[in-house]
Chains A and B, each alone.
Chain A
Amino acid sequence: MTRDPIPGRVAALAATSAIVALVVVVPLAAVVWAAHGVAPARLASLLVAPRTLAAFGLTFGASAAASLLDVLLGVWAAWVLTTRTFPGRALLDAVVDMPFALPTAVTGITLATLYGPHGWIGAPLLQHGIRVAYTPLGIVLALAFVGLPFVVRTVQPVLADLPRDLADAARGLGASPLAVARRITIPLALPAIATGFALSFARTLGEYGSVVFIAGNFPGRTEIVPLLVLTHLEEYDQAGAAAIATVMLAAALGLVLAINALQRHVVRVHAGA
């Protein structure tokens, strides 16, 4: 009998599986289980209703748009925070985490006031014909707020660990700062950026609290899937709510798996190059 080189491997594995099962898998399984009472015909009509489809389109579209926006802003913020020193940097670094801590309802109420037709930002924008509150744009901005720290916090450590000599050598050989970013920094950080995007995307798909205040909640226009789930719960239609939630879960799982596969592919290509 050979001894396992890592002591306590089985125990550790068992403990980890048990904790993951208890904290994550059991609640998710309960959601799927609650949906089992829905008759297939009802499920079909529920899921292809124009209102449901519109909500799915809006939720996935707005989450994707918000996460892309977060990638742009987040990579920039992470780069500034790791490469520049300036007064107040520590404070700015801490502020990035605030969306993690803030109750999402507070976020929603604040953003709706700020971007509302009489708000500090909403009023001047409205003069230029841009409506933010109670439109899909408002939803994207609320989601971007919630998702931003996920990108910054995954990209920042990678940028901090990038070998400086690579960039310095490239600069020494005459590459422009833009070329360095494009050819060295971004490719090296790409797996982290993809992870940040995936985290932000997954997080914002289910976001409810901050969105309902700024969305306006118009059926078919600015109604997100989580609100639809809640609507079914209000009607004491737990099975219907669970059915929509299950589809949401499956779609989210598929997307996150796809993004992770893409990320592994990127890493492989990069390692091979």
Chain B
Amino acid sequence: MNRIVVALLAVLLAVAPAGARAAGGAITLLNVSYDPTRELYAAYNPLFAAFWKRKTGQDVTVRQSHGGSGAQARAVIEGLEADVVTLALAYDVDAVAQNSSVLARDWQRRLPDASSPYTSTIVFVVRKGNPKHIHDWSDVARSGVSVVTPNPKTSGGARWNFLAAYAYGLKRNHNDETKARTLVAQIYKNAAVLDTGARGSTISFSERQIGDVLIAWENEAFFLQRTSPREGYEIIVPSVSILAEPPVAVVDGNARKHGTEAVAQAYLQFLYSPEAQRLACREGYRPRLTAVLGTCGTRFARSDLVTIANFGGWQAAQAKFFADGGVYDQVYGR
């Protein structure tokens, strides 16, 4: 009996110190992020570590955590001690601010460009030669076209997809909401599968050869082209899309506790530096710095981009489109 108690205590003690970090001279940061940024931050972290070493002489190690944007936000709310969050939607960072005491509500005003140092947009990936002649959202809504897009209820990326299609519907129909809904309804009727996350959809489209068109983040589309060059996937840029602005924020409460405020702040600010912007560009994200966009931006096709502000911000968009009984639920009208 005593031995069991000792064993239990030993387990508890072994688990407990996982929360206490930043001991000694070396600094550790925890960056809690969403799925597709794995490659971006794997490349950015050494760049920042070198910069910080030059500037202060300190060694900094950044640990990364990736998952669905909403699930990651929930983990931070429930006590995952992230020093910084770099998520897919401002809505998820807002949720951290609202449901915990570790992040100030005005987080989005603390860094330039609404705290999103890089952007992306929503594009189509089609199979070699574009056999179904998909050029715009109206083609995606055509009957007989099979569509792969994740589930907007569980995926942040999928919500951008939905809003991009809706924006097109509004623009082409003089802001007629009914017609925009019809278009979106047709697109979701064409869905062959609603994976729970963006990477899941990429896998369905590429590995399982499901669907004629994948609606995806632009950076994910580049990633797919780069990783499977033999498939000859083509990227189609629709006439109207949305400027996706993934936000970043220092989680003040945690950083204060770990004594990492300065380095966490620098970690995010350095994302706006020319070097980091060039790196983001190489990884398929659109840089904010126009100078950098000029040198590496040829891969980013121009289209008419709306922003989340056109929908009244994420809180309003979430309530109108994705909440229980919202437009998305009505589209599946049951």
Contact = CB atoms under 8 A, between A and B. Distances in A.
B154 A231 contact: yes
A233 B70 contact: yes
Interface string B207-242: 111100000000000000000000000000000000
Nearest to A14: B1
A116 interface: yes
B233 to A, nearest CB: 16
Contacts of B47: none
B199 to A, nearest CB: 11
Given A219-B332, A234-B154, A116 B194 contact: no
Interface residues of A, number: 32
Interface stretch (A139-147, A160-168, A192-200, A209-217): A209-217
Given A15-B1, A230-B154, A219 B208 contact: no
Contacts of A99: none
Interface of A: 11, 15, 46, 50-51, 54, 109, 112-113, 116-119, 133-134, 212-213, 216-220, 227, 230-237, 240
Given A50-B334, A236-B99, A217 B196 contact: yes
Most chain A Cβ neighbours within 10 Å, of B68, B191, B194, B329: B194
Given A113-B208, A116-B210, A230-B154, A218 B194 contact: yes
Contacts of B209: 116-118
A230 B154 CA distance: 7
B323 interface: yes
Contacts of A220: 332, 334
Contacts of A119: 208
Interface in B248-287: none
A113 B196 contact: no
A113 B208 CA distance: 6
Contacts of A233: 70-71, 74
A211 to B, nearest CB: 10
B95 to A, nearest CB: 5
Given A217-B193, A220-B332, A231-B153, 17 more contacts: A50-B334, A117-B210, A118-B210, A213-B200, A216-B192, A217-B151, A217-B194, A217-B195, A218-B191, A218-B332, A219-B334, A220-B334, A230-B196, A233-B71, A234-B153, A236-B99, A237-B324
13 contacts: A113-B207, A113-B208, A116-B209, A117-B208, A117-B209, A216-B192, A216-B193, A216-B194, A219-B334, A230-B196, A234-B71, A235-B322, A237-B324
B35 to A, nearest CB: 13
B10 interface: no
A53 to B, nearest CB: 10
A134 B334 contact: no
B203 interface: yes
A117 B205 CA distance: 12
Contacts of A118: 208-210
B70 to A, nearest CB: 4
A134 B193 contact: yes
Contacts of B151: 217, 231
Contacts of B322: 235
Interface in B57-104: 68, 70-71, 74, 95, 99
B196 A227 contact: yes
Nearest to B318: A235
Contacts of A109: 203
Given A15-B1, A231-B153, A212 B210 contact: no
A115 to B, nearest CB: 10
Contacts of B193: 133-134, 216-217
A54 B334 contact: yes
- Those 5 A-B pairs whose CB atoms lie nearest each other, nearest first: A234-B70, A219-B332, A217-B194, A231-B153, A116-B208
